[in-house]
């Protein structure tokens, strides 16, 4: 199981490769949220999301011989870009299996990072089966998006930075809101903060119809979401929490939050206006929770992870033009 020393080791491998993203604040956003809102801007990470950390961590942890043969990943987009760039920077081939309806910029960017792309239909085909078949045929190592110890360790480096940056700001206890898909980022951050900032409580944040983490945490066991309700939060659409991530989340996380699509749009517009950040819908759920679940939070500060910024430009433009729909 992932332990703190693995996160520290990942931080060592990521040094000088990943960006130490800033912890930002805007006085006018604080006024809206009713407390100081510190935004960990992982949208400013290389490839526009935290996923580069996990991708680099996993690839750099492979034995040299195995790494040289290349890697494969299946992803709705951010993990794809993270793995693609990490592979390119290592000088090894990457094959990415992507849903055919992934946002166009994510497809284009993944290709631009030098990866080979295979698409599949996310409603009728089994991405795991496709990925494993290609992996076997070509001798590629599968880099899973969240149920992988080295990936979780890499995402955990976000937590190390949050602990350091919060200390600089004089914050010693607060809620930490994290966008949650399979739980790699959440589990990694929770493990890092357990050691480095024990007064912090991590909460998962999800779109309303994909709040499998919140429900699973409430039930104490992994529950799956039924159906395929449409959502703009493509980056964090997962049916249930991961096998490796859930035990960590169950041990360390507080109550999960679910936010509406309108709240996500409003958070995106406010982030653009006040923080000057482009945050994608799935990356804005935590900020949405900070803004629109303020009575369920405590303390005079909250830390929010803005996990990615790879939004389709047209969707982003519509969201801003509508003033965030609120």
Which residues contact a copy of itself by CB under 8 A?
19, 21-22, 24, 26-28, 31, 41, 43-44, 46, 48, 85, 105, 109, 112-113, 269, 272-279, 309, 313-314, 316-318, 320-321, 323
CB of 20 or CB of 250, closer to a copy of itself:
20
Q: Report, in Å, the least distance between residue 274 CB and a copy of itself.
A: 8
Residue nearer to a copy of itself on the CB measure, 219 or 317:
317
Angle at 7 (CA atoms; ends 235, 93), nearest 5 degrees = 60
Select 41 or 102, whichever has its Cβ closest to a copy of itself.
41
User: Between residues 231 and 273, which has the closer beta carbon with respect to a copy of itself?
Assistant: 273
Residues 6+ apart with CB under 8 A from 193: 159, 162, 163, 176, 200, 202, 252
Is the CB of 88 or the CB of 250 nearer to a copy of itself? 88
The structure tokens listed for 20 are 């130490």
The structure tokens 């960990």 sit at 40
Q: Shortest Cβ distance from residue 226 to a copy of itself (Å)?
A: 33
Rounded least distance, CB 174 to a copy of itself, Å: 20
Given the complex with a copy of itself, which of 42 and 261 has the nearer CB atom?
42
CB 241 to a copy of itself: min, Å: 27
Minimum distance of a copy of itself from residue 84's CB (angstroms): 10
Take residue 282 and report the two structure tokens written for it: 């799935």
Smallest distance from a copy of itself to CB 239, Å? 28
Q: Considering beta carbons, is residue 54 or 241 the nearer one to a copy of itself?
A: 54
Chain-centre distance of CA 158, in angstroms? 10
For residue 3, CA distances in Å to 55, 161, 215, 246 come to: 18, 17, 25, 14
Q: Rounded to the nearest 5 degrees, what angle is found at the Cα of 92, between the Cα atoms of 86 and 96? A: 65
Give ∠ CA 157-163-167 in degrees, rounded to 5. 150
The bridge status of strand 23-24 relative to strand 36-41 is antiparallel
Question: Can you tell me the distance from the alpha carbon of 248 to that of 160, in angstroms, rounded to the nearest whole number?
Answer: 16
Give the span between the Cα atoms of 51 and 148, in whole angstroms: 13
Nearest distance from residue 171's CB to a copy of itself, in Å? 15
> Which 8-state DSSP code applies to residue 298?
-
């Amino acid at each position: 199981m992932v332990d703190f020393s693995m996160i520290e080791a990942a931080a060592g491998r990521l040094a000088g490769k990943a960006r130490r993203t800033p912890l930002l604040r805007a006085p006018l956003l604080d006024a809206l949220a009713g407390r100081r809102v510190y935004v960990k801007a992982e949208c400013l990470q290389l490839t526009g999301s935290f996923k580069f950390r996990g991708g680099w961590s996993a690839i750099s942890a492979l034995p040299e011989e195995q790494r040289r043969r290349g890697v494969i990943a299946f992803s709705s987009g951010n993990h794809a870009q993270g793995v693609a760039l990490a592979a390119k920077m290592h000088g090894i081939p990457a094959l990415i299996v992507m849903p055919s309806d992934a946002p166009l910029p994510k497809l284009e960017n993944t290709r631009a990072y030098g990866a080979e792309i295979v698409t599949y239909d996310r409603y009728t085909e089994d991405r795991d089966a496709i990925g494993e078949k290609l992996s076997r045929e070509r001798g590629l190592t599968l880099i899973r998006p969240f149920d992988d110890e080295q990936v979780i360790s890499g995402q955990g480096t976000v937590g190390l930075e949050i602990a350091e940056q919060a200390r600089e700001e004089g914050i010693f206890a607060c809620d930490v809101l994290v966008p949650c898909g399979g739980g790699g980022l959440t589990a990694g951050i929770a493990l890092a903060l357990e050691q480095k900032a024990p007064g912090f409580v991590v909460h998962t944040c999800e779109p309303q119809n994909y709040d499998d983490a919140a429900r699973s945490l409430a039930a104490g066991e992994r529950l799956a979401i039924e159906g395929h309700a449409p959502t703009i939060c493509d980056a964090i659409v997962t049916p249930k929490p991961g096998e490796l991530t859930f035990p960590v989340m169950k041990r360390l996380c507080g109550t999960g939050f679910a936010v509406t699509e309108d709240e996500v749009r409003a958070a995106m517009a406010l982030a653009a206006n006040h923080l000057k950040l482009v945050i994608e819908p799935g990356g804005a759920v935590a900020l949405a929770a900070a803004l629109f679940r303020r009575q369920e939070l405590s303390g005079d500060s909250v830390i929010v992870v803005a996990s990615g910024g790879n939004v389709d430009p047209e969707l982003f433009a519509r969201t801003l033009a509508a003033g965030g729909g609120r």
